Amino acid sequence: MKLSREEIVTLQVLRRQGETNQAIADRLGITEGAVRYHLKRAAEQASDGRGKLSLIEQLQLVAVLDHWWQDQVAALPNHRPPSVQQLWSYLVDEHDYRGSYKSVRKFARSHFPAPARRPFRRIETPAAAQVQSDWLETNVRLRDSVGRVSQVKRYGFVMTLSHSRKTAIIWSESMNQLAWHHVHNEAFKRLGGIAAVNRIDNLKTGVASGSGVWGEINSAYAAYARTMGFHVDPHEARQPQQKGKVERRVGAFKQLDWNRVFDSLADLQGYTDETLRRDWVIRQCPVTSVR
């Protein structure tokens, strides 16, 4: 049975923490011999010895990656590492790269320095228990009926399943009450159902007054939530980390290339739907192992 890199690292960590080989095997659902084999290879720093050039090297894209990486390092705050996922998307979009996300991740890990470790506490929720929702605002380049291109402000509603991190983004010309309910409907369609709880910001279309558990839910939104069958859970004021999973996804979308020109709002919606579909294929939660 072939183990993933994450599983190999896991068994090494568990062994250093004092667990027996058999206990590790039981935890990972593999044989005790497989545990011994991978621990031995790690101790010997074994290599498969193939020495094949990566697809990136074969396509002579190393200089392109280096340039992109250095630009990202210079632009990102607080020594944050560049996103390999965004690097892969850049290669696919701009250089017609046909390799997998994993091939880019493997090359980046061997070619660029490892990011500094940052302590954090991960909070997970059961499947279908919670979604987190937020708005993003950006300027979009749209082409009108006579071919003129202009920048217009558009609003993106982002909804993320807390368990799997699957995300939907719905574009709107407004953030009023009617638009707020409409984008929910469209997001639920793309996510395949309605979670038990929706954690939201303290915007007026969601919360009439107050914040957090003491907040009074907007009456129109409360009626909508009852009809759809979910509970509204606003976070406390000025505490965006309380819906950090969707905040992270909003941040990722803000870093996309918005110099693209779209023929309509529907064209923009199609582009982001396809981006998310491709993103979902390669994303996997490191804790829940859910795609």
pLDDT, average across residues 219-228: 96
Q: Based on the fold, state whether residues 18 and 67 are members of the same structural domain.
A: no
- Residues 151, 274, single domain; the answer is yes
**Cα separation, 5 vs 11, whole angstroms:** 10
pLDDT at res. 51? 55
Shared-domain flag, residues 187 and 245: yes
* Pairwise pLDDT comparison (9 vs 192), residue with the higher score: 192
Read off the DSSP letter of residue 146.
T
Output the CA torsion sign for 212, 214, 220, 222: positive
Amino acid at 119: P
**Cα–Cα distance, 161 to 196 (Å, whole number):** 11
* Token digits of residue 134: 């937020």
Q: 9 vs 195, which has greater pLDDT? A: 195
Would you report the helix, strand and coil content of the chain in percent, each value rounded to 5? 45, 15, 35
Q: Which of 19-23, 73-77, 100-104 has the lowest mean pLDDT?
A: 73-77
Alpha carbons 39 and 36: distance in angstroms, whole number: 5
Mind listing the pLDDT tens digit for each residue in 119-159? 666 678 888 899 999 999 999 999 988 889 999 999 999 99
Domain limits for position 70: 55-111
Domain assignment of residue 116, yes or no: no
CATH of the domain at 256: 3.30.420.10
Give 168's pLDDT tier (boundaries 50, 70, 90): very high
Residue 117 lies in a domain: no
Does the structure show a pLDDT above 70 at 290?
no
Same-domain status, 13 and 147: no
Q: Count how many domains the chain has.
A: 3
Q: In this structure, is residue 123 part of a structural domain?
A: no
The answer to whether position 246 is within a domain reads: yes
pLDDT, mean of residues 164-171: 93
Please state, in angstroms and rounded to a whole number, the distance separating the CA atoms of residues 253 and 181.
22
First-to-last C-alpha distance (Å) of the chain: 21
Asked whether residue 208 falls in the same domain as residue 263, the answer is: yes
118 belongs to a structural domain? no
Q: What's this model's pTM, rounded to 2 decimal places?
A: 0.60
In the chain, the percentage of residues whose pLDDT exceeds 70 is 91
142 and 98 housed in the same domain: no
Residue 83 and residue 224 share a domain: no
* Angle of CA points 103, 99, 281, to nearest 5°: 85
Residues 32 and 59 in one domain: no
Domain-embedded: residue 39? yes
Same domain for 22 and 65?
A: no
Mean pLDDT (the chain) is 86
Residue 158 lies in a domain: yes
Question: Residues 229, 170: one domain?
Answer: yes
> Is there a single domain that holds both residue 40 and residue 76?
no
Q: How many residues does the chain have?
A: 291
Amino acid at the residue 254: K
